[in-house]
Structure 1
Amino acid sequence: MRKIATGAAALLLACSAGVNAQSQGTAYWGVTAGLMDIDVRNADSPFNVGLRGGYTLPSGWGFEAEYTNSLISGEADVFQNDVDIDVQTLAGYGTYRSYGDIYFKGRLGLLYEDVSVGSASSDDTGISLGGGIGFDMSPNTNVELEYTMIEEDIGFWSGTMTLTF
């Protein structure tokens, strides 16, 4: 847990440092929620919620940090017993957004994950890739629908609402 807190603090500090830079980009904060789609037989996927912050340059390139944790645990059948599945992630991404009121977004970055199945837990760090579509709802509010590959057998189907400033 200490590693996660330290990593989250470092990513948020990096986002804050970018926001204070002299530039014409856009900073944003938001909440994300969605299904961690686990490709394991006899397993129900957990429902995760999280926070996202980032910065987009006028060119469309940017960066963002994201933390998610299971709000509703998934369930797996292990030796005739039902056990909870939880997934926790912390990631930093480089991003690209196209222009327009309806836009496409891609992201590539480094992700730390902790997967708990019952009392067993495993963590890993690796590359994460995602993409989706976004909608400008107002000058300061966006909604994004995305899919992010967490690892080979876990994908995150999410919806995010962000506020820009």
Structure 2
Amino acid sequence: MRKLATGLAALALVCSSAANAEGGYWGGTLGLMTVDADIVDDPINFGLRGGYTFASGWGFEGEYTNSLISGAADVFDGRDVDVDIQTLGGYGTYRSFGDVYFKGRLGLIYEDVSIGGYSSDDTGISLGGGIGLNLSPNTNVEFEYTMIEEDVNFWSGTMTLTF
């Protein structure tokens, strides 16, 4: 029982001091949108991100990405076609305290995948996590992994400015 009480007290202490500076932020993200298919070369996506972090460390953010450099897919007749992925997501977030911090996010995402002339869109749950670094009181850099869907993942770097 004492170990449980000690663990709960430690968790309460971490949660009570687990905040970065409260406020809004915006920034740009760039990364590799990996597709789990042997015939696809992965596109590189660029996006915009904005959000708000509360004093508790909890927050929310929105993110839009689109292919900056198209991937390629080998189709059955031996030719390559472009692969582009566009996403729009809304997330609940949590950031731990410190100049080096951990970040988690969970939300809903809309994605549109275009392969050659064929396009397919879907909406679903997205989950991500990463590590961040406070470069200054107004500038952060984050390195993240986000699961877009079970066979599409986004490995990204983001720079944000707080206001």
Query: 1:70 and 2:29 equivalent?
Result: no
CA distances 1:57-79 after superposition (whole Å, capped 9, x unpaired) = 00000000000000100001011
Moved over 6 A (4+): none
Of structures 1 and 2, the larger Rg is shown by 2
* TM-score normalised per structure 2: 0.86
The equivalent residue for 2:157 is 159
- In structure 1, how many angstroms separate the alpha carbons of the residues matched to 2:25 and 2:131? 16
The equivalent residue for 2:8 is none
Instruction: Write the letter of the residue equivalent to 1:153.
Output: D
What runs of 5+ residues in structure 1 fail to find an aligned partner? 1-23
- In structure 2, how many angstroms separate the alpha carbons of the residues matched to 1:25 and 1:147? 24
Query: 1:53 and 2:44 equivalent?
Result: no
The equivalent residue for 2:101 is 103
What runs of 5+ residues in structure 2 fail to find an aligned partner? 1-20
Once the two structures are aligned, what percentage of the paired residues are identical? 75
- In structure 2, how many angstroms separate the alpha carbons of the residues matched to 1:126 and 1:43? 22
CA RMSD of the aligned region, Å?
Answer: 0.8
- In structure 2, how many angstroms separate the alpha carbons of the residues matched to 1:133 and 1:109? 18
The equivalent residue for 2:129 is 131
* TM-score normalised per structure 1: 0.85
